[in-house]
Amino acid sequence: MYEFDFERPTSVADAVAALGTEEAQALGGGQTLIPTMKQRLAMPAKLVSLTGIAEMQGVRRNDAGELCIGGGTTHATVAREARDAYPALADLASHIGDPAVRNRGTIGGSLANNDPSACYPAAVLGSGATVVTSNREIAADDFFEGMFTTALEDGEIITEVRFPVPEAANYQKFEQPASRFALVGVFVARFSGGVRVAVTGAAEEGVFRWHEAEKALSSDFGPGAVEGLSVSADGMIADLHGSAAYRAHLVGVLTKRAVAAAAG
């Protein structure tokens, strides 16, 4: 690892200021960034730890009934504290990595990183959540811009994520056998106004919405509705752990299972 300066501000404002310098980078839980730095694939001159910022912590409901999660909230906290308000989200959080990773890794870090196999992007896109940053609000549909790319600008911090709470939802994660990240993950959420289906792990472009399934499910929310549907293998990730066709197939299977679980 290369040497860097380390700062641990206690407010978002101070963090933004600290990130204003050249080659400065935010440090959330470090569960992605630290291994990357060990491989010397990242070499920030300054790391700005966000863990000391109280205003970025915690799970609460706002007046609009949205579930608001501070950008620095750990997966473990979400798993625990969102359990009653948004069980599908809590369940997703409780299956990210392992307990020690969940005790450090944060929702903000996960979204900023936008790993194509990460879990949270499916929940955020599948819920139509709003990503709140140090200077604006970004709709989920505008946030994810492809593998490891997001709408975030340099130095912009995710301070909160606001989830509209669906009537029913479920996340199905099919684990890659080695990393245990999602080989494919499907998040299905039914709102009064329609159904959203978000798929992670599968596509080279990262998380995406499966519009065809959304349409079918919006008129008939049951596993039967997606029975005959399939996604194209074009643009799907193909690697040691599964071909594009396999991933495309899993999208169908997992969507059906997520609907069955959510409907049941």
Partner 1 sequence: MPRVTMTVNGKPVSGEVEGRRLLVQFLREDLDLTGTHVGCDTSQCGACVVHVDGHAVKACTMFAAEAEGADVTTIEGIAAPDGTLNAIQQAFQDHHGLQCGFCTPGMVMSAAALLAENPKPSEAEVRDYLEGNICRCTGYHNIVKAIMAASGQDVNAIAAE
Partner 2 sequence: MPKDGGIGAASKRREDVRFLTGTGNYTDDINIRGQAYVHFLRSDVAHGRIEKLDTAQAAAMPGVVRIFTGADFEDVGGLPCGWQVTDKHGAPMQEPGHPVLAQGKVRHVGDPIAAVVADTPEQARDAAEAIIYDIAELPAVVDMKAALDPGAPKVHDELESNLCYDWGFVEENKPAVDAAFEKAAHVTTLELVNNRLIANPMEPRVAVGDYARSTDESTLFTTSQNPHVIRLLMGAFVLGIPEHKLRVVAPDVGGGFGTKIFHYAEEAFCTFAARALARPVKWTSSRSEAFMSDAHGRDHVTRIELALDADNNFVALRTDTLANMGAYLSTFAPSVPTWLHGTLMAGNYKTPLIHVNVRAVFTNTVPVDAYRGAGRPEATYQLERVIDKAAIELGVDPIALRRQNFVTEFPYETPVAVTYDTGDYNATMDKLEEIADLSGFDARRKESAKRGKLRGLGVNTYIEACGIAPSNLVGQLGARAGLYESATVRVNATGSISVMTGSHSHGQGHETAFPQVVADMLGIDESMIEIVHGDTARGPMGMGTYGSRSLAVGGSAMVRATEKVINKARKIAAHLMEASEADIELKDGQFTVAGTDKSVAWGDVTLAAYVPHNYPLDEIEPGLEETAFYDPSNFTYPAGAYACEVEVDPETGKVTIERFAAADDFGNVVNPMIVEGQVHGGLGQGIGQALLEGCTYDENGQLITGSYMDYAMPRADDVPFYQVDHSCQTPCTHNPLGVKGCGEAGAIGSPPAVVNAVVDALRSGGHDITHIDMPLSPSRVWTAMQG
Q: What DSSP character marks residue 163?
A: E
Span from 1-9, 78-86, 120-128, 146-154 in contact with partner 2 (CB under 8 A):
1-9
208: nearest Cα among 126, 132, 151, 263: 126
Q: Is 206 in the site for ligand FAD (CB under 6 A)?
A: no
* Binding residues with partner 2: total (CB under 8 A): 19
Q: Tokens for 127? A: 């819920």
Q: Which is nearer to partner 2, 41 or 64 (CB)?
A: 41
Q: Is 109 in the site for ligand FAD (CB under 6 A)?
A: yes
Phi-psi region of 146 (alpha: psi -120 to 50; beta: other; left: phi over 0): left
Task: Work out which of 69, 105, 116, 143 binds ligand FAD, going by CB under 6 A.
Answer: 105
Strands (E), the chain: 5-7, 24-27, 46-49, 59-61, 67-70, 130-133, 137-139, 158-163, 168-175, 182-191, 194-200, 208-209
The footprint of partner 1 (CB under 8 A) covers: 1-6, 8, 30-31, 34-35, 37-39, 47, 49, 51, 76, 97-101, 103-104, 179-180
Q: How far is CA 19 from the centre of its chain?
A: 23
Which of the choices partner 1, ligand FAD, partner 2, none does residue 221 contact, using the CB cut-off of 5 to 8 A by kind?
none
7: nearest Cα among 53, 48, 52, 51: 48
Binding residues for partner 2 (CB under 8 A): 1-3, 39-40, 174, 177-180, 183, 240-243, 246, 249-250, 253
Binding residues for ligand FAD (CB under 6 A): 25-33, 50, 71-72, 96-97, 101, 105-106, 108-110, 112-113, 115, 118-120, 157-158, 180-181
